[in-house]
Amino acid sequence: MPKLPKLPQLPDFDENPIKAAGNIIKDTVGSIQRIAGDIDEAVKGVDFEVRTSPGEPATPIEEIASATVCLQRCRDHWSTISSTLSEGLRFARSDGMASKDVQGRIGLAIDEANKMEKIDLAATAIAGLKGKEKELSEWSLENSRQLRHQIGEIRTLDDMEKAAAEAARLRQEYMTRYGVVRQSYTQECEECEALKDLRTTGGSKLTSEETIDYQKREIAKELWQLEKHLAQGCRIPDKSGKRIPCDCCEKGSWIAGLAYESIPIAERAGQTSGIFEKLASWADALEPMVTVAAVESGQYDYKKLSGQASALRKELMGSLALGALLSPKNRTEIAERATKMLEGKEI
């Protein structure tokens, strides 16, 4: 339990009380502003909190709780690769290929492909599969390897455009194939990393409640980013300051994927799945409205769509406060930092 912050030091009685009160308020506001800055920085980084950076070693296969391939996770990997390269292409067009934002996203896309190949599509995982599930897994493995090599060879803007286009094509083809498999896919993938049967390296298990809380935060982060892009009309300024259409709003399939995945988890946790069904339906319908061609057409009200995204985020999280996007660990760290600052240890 964090210590309570110290009260502001009271002034001497001979000091002008109005001036003293003003000084106290000034000092307190300064502390709150610094704490708010910490919260803002934490929120800006939360969407990377579960990603492995290019410099971190990959998790050894023997530490993975299950060798069972998870087609749901492969779907998410394909979506992440595609959206990451799409973001990288946007930065490449405005800032050039040498931009750290471009190179960072190239690295993240390669990492995502590696995780899919080495964990979800490991030979031991595919060996036990049959029929369409095995066929889709082998297709994913072959195409992921080819795309990963293509991403690794990116040097020019043209290379980036071709890789992003290929990733988008493969993601769409995977979703089509996955839809066919799901018709006969009667058992949920209960051995995915996020679900309840995964044993962590510490030997404990995630509960369905913990998992659905995680899913909610991940969806809310995506909605928060989408709200901002939609409010900006899905346009970003080029070097001259002219706002041009971009693909920054194309998050529908990723949000829908997370929402669909959350439906059975919520039901296992004894919670209603209605909000996830609503999110999935809304995100699916959004996708054709936010392509570059759709933005250029001028036929959609993106500010209204931004409001819809905001309303869905509030319904999902119960609040529009950015603090709701933080994990329990983030909240604890910020609370401890705030306490120290108010005690004067870091002011």
Domain coordinates of the chain in residue numbers? 66-190, 193-347
> What are the tens digits of pLDDT across the range 218-235?
899 889 989 999 999 999
Average pLDDT over residues 229-255: 86
What's the Cα-to-Cα distance from 83 to each of 102, 113, 169, 179, rounded to whole Å?
A: 13, 13, 12, 20
Over the chain, what is the mean pLDDT?
A: 75
pLDDT at 148 over 60: yes
d(CA 97, CA 99) in angstroms, rounded, equals: 5
101-105, 116-120, 152-156, 185-189: range with highest mean pLDDT = 152-156
Residue 200 has pLDDT above 60, yes or no: no
pLDDT of residue 26: 52
CA-CA distance, 47 to 62, in Å (whole number)? Answer: 27
How many residues are there in the chain?
347
Span between the terminal Cα atoms of the chain, in Å = 21
Query: Per-residue confidence at 336, pLDDT binned at 50, 70, 90?
Result: confident
DSSP codes, 245-284: E-STT--HHHHHHHHHHHHHHHHHTT---HHHHHHHHHHH
Report d(CA 326, CA 45) in Å as an integer.
10
pLDDT for res 324? 80
Strand partners, 237: 243
Model confidence pLDDT, tens digit, residues 271-308 = 888 898 899 889 888 888 988 888 999 999 999 999 99
Residue 54 clears pLDDT 50, i.e. is over it: no
Per-residue pLDDT band for 346 (boundaries 50, 70, 90) equals: low
